[in-house]
């Protein structure tokens, strides 16, 4: 791998994965893609000349040096890894950009290590906007040698990437990130619901709050759309709820008590249930403001 540019394959062309794979293509690194829904692979290949469509995860693995994966949950990741094992070769690197439990990452690292294949858990943060703009932060766990061979790959869609420890460390870091995301979302949604309740001028309040100590990525990217009651683009509440349940398990293992997590779990459980009952799709986590308006 060190003697040539890595040939990359990408599995999982969702809202985050598709733009990440697009950046790999733009940098001349992407060889092939695979997605559970063939239509997404076909559309991606039409939009990105020269990219192959693998017939299976194993077929994709046979044609590349690095496989990057971005799927929704632990079971999805385990299934993909099992499906591509027959195509893996010693010396390859499997990079997981999904958000899963640290224990899942450690188990897969052990499983692939027996095949002399490196596994790097590398969840990302920065939202759909970060993926589209190639400005993601990448939290990695795994062996230093494998991580050191991924600078060109991570540089295609990341603005910063760090190795934080052995396998599972990246997922532990993502749990910290998601706990903070949930707490910030709680505060911002509640605060903007209060702006409405007090009949304060919205544009001016967004400018003032964003320009001071209350400013945050979430307020900057979602404040205006929340007040416009628009939640079409972003991170689905069901996915955050899945992540928070991972956080819950991790905190129990660590013997750490959070004052943020119980409220976030309760609120996002209610939000997901309410939107399902209304026949709506998940939208964005900023839809939490709808619950805060009624509190």
Averaged pLDDT, 29-57: 98
Q: Which domain holds residue 125?
A: 8-166
φ/ψ of residue 199, rounded to 5: 60, 40
Tens digit of each residue's pLDDT (9 = 90 or more) over 205-224: 999 999 999 999 999 999 99
25 plus 82 within the same structural domain: yes
Quote the number of domains for the chain: 2
Q: Is pLDDT of 186 > 70?
A: yes
Which residues are known catalytic residues? 174
205 and 144 within one domain: no
For residue 27, tell me if it sits in a domain.
yes
Query: What is the tens place of the pLDDT at every residue in 119-169?
Result: 999 999 999 999 999 999 999 999 999 999 999 999 999 999 999 999 999
Tell me the C-alpha distance between 95 and 77, whole Å: 11
Closest CA to 117 of 144, 138, 146, 141: 146
- Whole-prediction pTM: 0.94
Grouping H, G, I as helix, E, B as strand and the rest as coil, residue 54 is coil
In a domain, 183, yes or no: yes
281-292 residue pLDDT tens: 668 999 999 999
End position of a domain, from candidates 131, 166, 201: 166
């Amino acid at each position: 791998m060190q003697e040539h540019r890595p040939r990359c394959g990408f599995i999982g062309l969702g809202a985050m994965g598709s733009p990440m794979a697009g950046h790999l293509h733009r940098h001349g690194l992407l060889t092939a893609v695979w997605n559970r829904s063939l239509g997404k692979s076909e559309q991606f290949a039409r939009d990105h000349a020269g990219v192959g469509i693998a017939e299976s995860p194993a077929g994709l693995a046979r044609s590349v040096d690095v496989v990057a994966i971005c799927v929704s949950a632990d079971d999805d990741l385990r299934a993909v890894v099992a499906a591509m094992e027959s195509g893996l070769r010693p010396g390859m690197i499997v990079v997981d950009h999904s958000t899963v439990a640290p224990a899942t990452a450690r188990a897969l690292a052990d499983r692939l290590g027996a095949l002399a294949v490196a596994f790097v858990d590398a969840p990302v943060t920065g939202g759909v906007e970060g993926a589209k703009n190639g400005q993601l932060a990448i939290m990695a766990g795994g062996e230093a040698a494998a991580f050191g061979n991924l600078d060109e790959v991570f540089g295609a869609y990341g603005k910063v990437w760090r190795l934080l420890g052995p396998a599972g460390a990246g997922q532990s870091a993502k749990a910290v990130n998601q706990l903070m995301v949930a707490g910030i979302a709680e505060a911002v949604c509640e605060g903007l619901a209060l702006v409405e309740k007090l009949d304060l001028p919205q544009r001016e309040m967004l400018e003032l709050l964003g320009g001071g100590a209350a400013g945050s990525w979430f307020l900057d990217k979602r404040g205006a759309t929340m007040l416009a009651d628009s939640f079409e683009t972003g991170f689905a509440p069901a996915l955050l709820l899945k992540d928070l349940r991972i956080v819950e398990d991790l905190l129990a293992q660590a013997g750490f008590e959070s004052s943020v997590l119980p409220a976030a779990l309760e609120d996002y459980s209610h939000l997901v249930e309410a939107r399902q009952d209304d026949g709506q799709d998940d939208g964005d986590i900023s839809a939490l403001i709808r619950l805060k308006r009624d509190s």
